[in-house]
Structures are given as C-alpha cells and as structure tokens.
Amino acid sequence: MTSQKNHKLCMVPGPVEFHEDVLSSMSTLAISHVSPSFIPVFGESIELLRKLFFTNKGQPFVISGSGTLGWDMVSSNLIEPGEDVLVLNSGYFGDSFTVCLETYGAKVTQVKAEIGDSPSLEAIKEALSTKKFKAITITHVDTSTGVLSDVKAISALVKQISPETLVIVDGVCSVGSEEIRVDEWGIDIVLTASQKAIGVPPGLCILIASERAIVIMNAYENRKAMYFATPPVQLIYALHTSLKQITSIPLEKRFQQHKDVSNHIKNSLEELGLKFVPKTREISANGMTAVYYPDGIKATDLLPKVAEHGVVIAGGLHKIIGPKYFRVGHMGISVTEPHRQHIEKTIEALRVNLKELGYKGAN
C-alpha cells in the first residue's frame, strides 16, 4: 500500500517502521467522531491501553499531539506555580522536561546522573529527604542516551520516603518495549506518544492518570459519544489496529522479544569492537541502542553511507556528547516480525560501512 519508492528502513528511536495494517487503518473515509461505528473503536482502544499499562485504576487519555504535550499536561494541570518538583535527569529529555515545568512556574530540583548512567537510589533518597516535593519525574528511557531507569524501584523508594509525592513517568521511549505496571508500581502519571514502540504514526499523546476518572474518556470507554474537541479519528483507527496486534500475545513475551533483540544487536556491535553510551547492560534500554563512533569516524562519515545502504539511523542528541555517538531504534514490528530482516539489515549496514570507512575492528 505504501507508494514510496526505494523506502529506506527507518531505524531511528522513533518514529519506527509501521505495520501495513496500521497504515491502512488510517485510510478510512471521513467519519464523524461521534459516529456509532467510531465510538466502539475509540472505546476499545482505551480498554486496550489499560492492558498495555497494566492498569484498572488509571484513566487513559488519548489526545491529538505528541509526547511533548504530555509534559505540558502534567506541568499545567498538576503543578501550581512555586511548587517543588524533583526531576531525575539521565539526559536531554530530563533537561527538556525541566524547561517545560519551569515555564509553568514549578521550582525544579534535579538529580543529574553522569552521562550514560541513571540517578542512583541513594542520590534520589537524599534529594527526597531535603524537602516535600509535589512530584518526581522519571524518564524511563532517555532517548538521548539509551539509559533505562528502574521505575519500579524508584517508585517504591518514593512511597517509602515521601508517599504524597506524585510519581510521573516519561514513557515516550519505553511504553511498548519496556515493562511498566501502573497499578502495581504505584505510578500516578505515565505519558507517552504513538510513534515509538506503540507503532502508530506521530500525532497521539497518550497519558495514564492514576487518580481521577475524567468524564470524556470515560464516556468513550463506556461507548458513549461526548464532544470535547475533534479527536484524530483516523489515527485512533490506527491505534486500535496496533494495540490489537500488541495485545494479541502476552505482553511479557513482547518485552522478552525486545530484550532478546536488544541483546542480539548489542552483542553484534560489541563483537565489532564498538562501545555504548549506557555504562552497563543492566541500565540499557531494550528498544534502542546508543553507540559511540570508533576513533576517527564521525556522524557525517557514517550516517549518510548507512542511509545509502537503505537504513536510516539517528545521530547523537545529548548536549555534551552529541557528535560522538549514534542511535539505533529497535522497537515494534522490527522486533516482533523477524522475517522482515530489519535488524539484520541494520547490523549489516553498520558492519559493511564501518569497514569501508577503514574501521579495523569491523571484520
């Protein structure tokens, strides 16, 4: 159905490659957002989100926008000007969430990890003991570094030291590729976007709020129409198709598939002698890999050559080490449908082009 000639594989850490059925779900004819045929699709999508986030108590929201809108929703709705927020920072997206919170008047304290690391539980404990924070934010996977934070352990620590502090998770680069259990782990907000491991084109901000059941989403979930603003009907068809695919197998199996593929890529790159931004495998994301260029090779050498080979990967994003590394996304159908050979093609493109650039570690 796609008409793009010579499509290059999109192996950046989002947007990911989209399943044909997801894309064709968007080509519905114009349909009213309160149509009896659309309401069940929206309603079931909200129910399927509960499965993906392991939540009965939380209220899913599906809003036109991107992940950034989730930051705005949190900053404008939950935090009053002058209130204290603790931001756990493991890279670029911690910096940006901070800017958003401060724009709305929050007083932010940051616990910053070294590059390639996540804030330690000791450092978080110390910070939490200094004052009462209205909220703590955790970037589950910082897409600039590929560092994975232990949301379960951090949330347990918050419950122990400062139970009234809201636990807010930026899951833009984790939901769908990493386990996240809203009810069991006691998370108050998870925000994410459609274009990464959820496998739907950009345009949806998805947010789970623990406490209040909000009227509009409740109405659609109960198969009633209610106007609040025109929802992105065709994207919700796509979301419905993708969530059906995602939840058609146990989620534990999906997370394991992402872990296995992640290890395969990381092992293959390690065999080529390459080094990663995250300091250990334990704190490495399973849906992406951040890799240092070998000495003497830079972004402008490698990325265009890999693209000519038919695979698009991303450059570095971290403010300090940006030019020194590149990022590969491995989420969604690239992982769950190995017959597509996305992963092997990506590894091969890297191997061949590093060799052509004279990299000796690459055989």
Ligand X SMILES: Cc1ncc(COP(=O)(O)O)c(C=O)c1O
Residues forming the site for ligand X (CB under 6 A): 14, 66-68, 93, 139, 142-143, 170, 172-173, 193
Residues 236 and 191: their CA atoms lie apart, in Å, by: 17
CA–CA dist 346, 362 (Å, integer): 14
| Least Å from the CB of residue 141 to ligand X | 6
Q: How far is the CB of 79 from ligand X (least distance, A)?
A: 17
Select 148 or 350, whichever has its Cβ closest to ligand X: 148
Q: What's the closest the beta carbon of residue 230 comes to ligand X, in angstroms? A: 20
The CB-of-263 to ligand X minimum distance in angstroms stands at: 22
Q: Which residue has its beta carbon closest to ligand X?
A: 67
Q: Tell me how far apart the alpha carbons of residues 187 and 153 are, in angstroms, rounded to a whole number.
A: 11
CB-nearer residue toward ligand X: 43 or 171: 171
Please identify, using beta-carbon distances, which residue of 136 and 193 lies nearer to ligand X: 193
The answer to whether residues 123 and 157 touch, using CB atoms and an 8 Å cutoff, is no
Using the minimum distance from each CB to ligand X, give the nearer residue, 67 or 176: 67
Q: How far is the CB of 118 from ligand X (least distance, A)?
A: 13
Q: What is the signed CA dihedral for 326, 331, 333, 336, rounded to 10 degrees? A: 120
- Of 52 and 290, which has the nearer Cβ to ligand X? 290
